[in-house]
Amino acid sequence: MSEMNQLTSINNELSNSLTESSTMSMGVWKRFRRHPGAIFGMIVLSILLVMALAAPLSPYDPEASEMTARYEAPSASHIMGTDALGRDLFTRILYGGRVSLTVGVLVVVLSIFIGVPVGALAGYYGGTVDSVLMRITDAFLSLPSFLVLILLSAILLEVKIPYLEGNSVLTISFVIGVFSWTTFARLVRAAFLGIRETEFVAASRALGGSDMRIMTRHILPNAIGPIIVEATLEFGYAIIEESGLSFLGFGIQPPTPSWGNLLSNAQDYFVKYPWLAIFPGLMIFLSIISINYIGDGLRDAFDPNKVLSKVGEV
């Protein structure tokens, strides 16, 4: 009879854990909506995404030259002007947005794919596994990341590797993502170290749950908050790093447009033809500021005590 009561207690513990997780998700969305900066960021980023997806609807070819229309100022026919080859700048910015935003998404996916398992294994098992994985993470953190990114980009620009030929979107995403997973690993490790000792994890272990099931079904969902927040911030960092590499000539190569190489092409003409630099720079600024606002909103949403005290609910 006592064993039956114990099993019932364990099942109730797991059920309560799932209920609390669902309630927390609703609370996160409720608090996120109360963050005006986050809502603003969502609107701006959504507009940028829609514009990038609608790029093929432009009547202009992003790579077709029209030498009779070189350096035209913004007008009704070219709302952001034209470049040195007479190409419509607005169209090239739209296509450049597709490249820059795609790089951001791919970098986040690759960083999560590497960093979350590393952090989960280190935090759950501890001991030797933790020491080895964290020393590898520290080794990556000790490298001057941007200089190494330039070196890798230069190498991949010359060396032919399947699926990584030239400095394509996939290549640049791979280069940036290889050095962007370390923060995810540290965050997940810290979360796992705290959660693995809780009662509902012990209950799952007592019911015979495997390590993989415990990590993926019970611990990881409770560590999802920091991962989501870091993902939004990493998205912005990836856009900045891609823009920096392209600006220096080691990123996306012309004639494929990206916001970074559009800025690079404009640096010699900024004084005489300022729109060539203003509009790509504005796109980078709007995307980064909107992502940062979203990240701030998510961070506050996953910190109930901070937000509830602001709105007078505690």
What pLDDT does residue 168 have? 77
DSSP-derived letter for residue 55 is G
Is residue 237 within 8 Å of residue 180, measured between CB atoms? yes
CB neighbours of residue 158 within 10 Å: 7
Task: Name 251's Cβ contacts closer than 8 Å, sequence gap at least 6.
Answer: 153, 167, 172, 242, 243, 244, 245, 258, 260, 261
Mean pLDDT throughout 210-224?
81
Residue 59, preceding peptide bond in cis (omega within 30° of 0): no
Q: Quick one: tokens of 243? A: 């823009």
What pLDDT does residue 112 have? 92
pLDDT band at 172 (very low <50, low <70, confident <90, very high): confident
Phi, psi of 76 (to 5 degrees): -65, -35
List pLDDT tens digits, range 67-87. 888 888 888 888 988 888 888
CB neighbours of residue 66 within 10 Å: 14
What pLDDT does residue 306 have? 53
> Largest Cα–Cα distance of the chain, in whole Å?
91
Helix (H) or strand (E) holding 294: helix 275-301
The single residue listed with the structure tokens 């791979």 is: 174
What pLDDT does residue 10 have? 47
The helix-helix angle for 259-266 and 275-301 (nearest 10°) equals 150
List pLDDT tens digits, range 108-131. 999 999 999 999 999 888 888 989
Q: What pTM does this model have?
A: 0.80
What pLDDT does residue 25 have? 60
Is residue 124 within 8 Å of residue 187, measured between CB atoms? no
**What CATH number belongs to 2-311?**
1.10.3720.10
Q: Which residue has the higher pLDDT, 17 or 58?
A: 58
What pLDDT does residue 12 have? 52
pLDDT of residue 16 exceeding 70, the answer is no
Q: Domain map of the chain by residue range?
A: 2-311
